[in-house]
A and B are shown apart, each in its own frame.
Chain A
Amino acid sequence: MEGKNSFYNDNKLNIKKLMKSGVLSSFLSALVAVLLGLIFGFVIMLIALPANALIGFKHIILGGLKRIGDVFYYATPILMTGLSVGFANKMGLFNIGASGQYTMGMYFALYVGFMWDLPDGIHWVVACLAGFVGGMLWGAIPGIFKAFLNVNEVITSIMFNYIGMYLVDMFIQGNSAMYVSDKTRTQYLPAEVQMPSLGIPNSNVHLGIILAILIGILLYIVLQKTTFGYELKATGFNRFASEYAGMKGKRNIILTMAIAGGLSGLGGAFGILAPSGIAGSSMTYEPINIIAPAGFNGIAVALLGNSHPIGIIFSAIFISYIQRGGTLASLAGYKPEIIDIVIAVIIYFSAFTSLILEFISKLFGKGRKNKKTLVDNEIKEAE
């Protein structure tokens, strides 16, 4: 009898502990969002082309497995922009300017790649660092506006997406060492500026993904373990309390936006410095006045990952995975846009995190209540 009671209690405590830690619950809610999104996607596929729905859906679910190298390759830039958006979000800032920072980082990396003459081993490293600096600059400016003039960072960073993109396009088109005007693209980068490939066949996956994951873990440590992370989160939760406690709010806003920008910029560097499978060529940039989509994908990645650096690592890989599957679904006659719809739905549902969380805790709550009355009854019987 007594043994039974303690069993229930232990059980209760464990679930509670996990729920309290928040990790399990955010993971579960992301999972529910993913499942709902997939179901919804399947329904759309059924409507669009009923005969091939099953085979197409199988491509979406399992297709990524066949191209695992590409999954990680395409995950690299959106992981970086996701970390960027998520990191700023921890401080209560919405960095919608990841695209501009990404483009700036890419340009800085390209500039170092073409214009600087550096030894082979370190050329790509310096180019990456330059990308980080370029993104930082583009993130810090909205941060400065926010800190000193209280201009909403959403507005400035949207504007900086355009300013950054047009500036970069202008600079590139005006630089004959970088630009091939009849092909409307940049020159091929020399091989020593390209990131070291991981050597997975049929894929351009490179060292960037490993660096990106390491950076994600590093951010997690910064947020959880350091005084800077403590200040940053406190400011995000309650700006007034952080001011009351004497934290340097303005410095922290600028620093956070600069780091967030740097992360996106590094993403841009990783994107453009990726190695090419064909010898003598490289990734190129086309200055055709289009905002880099990687920035907006980063918002989706950060949302699905609940702004948690480790969550973002998984959500970036997942989104890349399902995108690879989506391109394969075209083999079954589906437009690749269908996968964009599925991803949109997943993000849509993950925005309902709180609702889903409530739903989950209700499920658990009921279970707990039943157990409690059970225990109570037993106690009553014993009496």
Chain B
Amino acid sequence: MKALKLDRNAIGQWLSAMAGERDIYVPAPDGPAKGTWTLLTDYSMPEIKPGVPARPVKNFLFPQPETLLKFSTVPTDPNCCLPSEPEENGRKNVVFGVRPCDARSIGLNALACKADTYYQANMEKNAIIGLTCSQVCSTCFCSETGGSPMGTEGCDVSLTEIDGSYIARAMTERGEALLALAESSGKEVTDSDISAVEALEEKARAGSDEIRNPEEQLRAKDLMELYNAPFWQELADRCINCGACTFLCPTCYCFDIQDETLHGKGRRIRCQDSCMFPLFTLHASGHNPRGQKIQRVRNRFMHKMKYFPDRFGPISCVGCGRCVRDCPVNIDIREVMRSLLHI
């Protein structure tokens, strides 16, 4: 696969070349939009701080909200109540500066969304240009979840900063085509560039994390034994069911479907939902299968650490640390994972 060495200037030219056919989104700089992803309008290398922005990349794969269908509700309209798919504007995106954890989440969610044509279409629509991590934050734990600060999974192109320049490696055919647009401004990579990247990869592998491949250990454990573990109650006592973790989590993909109508025009939308909320499971009869907080708290962690790996293989957590960073009552998923591994 193609690889180029790009200095900041060359990145700017590359962004400008890609902007011809795609909208480019980058982590927003400090200011009112901080923490979100913003449309790039001046084509220079954006300042991307260490760690992940508050909003995960899933917002490009599950737009908030996403129109699934639209319909008329005017009774005299012959097409009344006949749903149709919304027209696409055809514009594609580049999501630039995606950290390895976020990039990896796209493929994990795709395991559950194989039959979901909208998710598949959004994967088509959004090209991912990753940026490996030269600095690991205190809340980061990607290596403990099967990822790496140097990871490229889910990226079309992966950038690694070395001495103020970037080694850009195409990881997919789509990435190859995008990187071709940088050919005129970039330089060929040298052997020493490649060995510098390999040295970083080696260093990432040699990290001193105590947990490796938790999914294998967790899959081997008895489901009901984990479910009945004594520590859930203590966690539930602290949790306020605010749902922040689920909205910030790149691998929480649960959603709600709702209909909206205004002046005879309607649409069926989907938006993120959270298993932290009692309404998530409430029956019309009033019965609620997860009516207690402990059931909801437990469901989120069990889904990530046991149900998902049992079904698909890997754990549904990429170690981005957003939930650790932003939980108002300091619940730490790393501790939960350790507790589960010790059962």
Q: Do A and B come from the same complex?
A: no
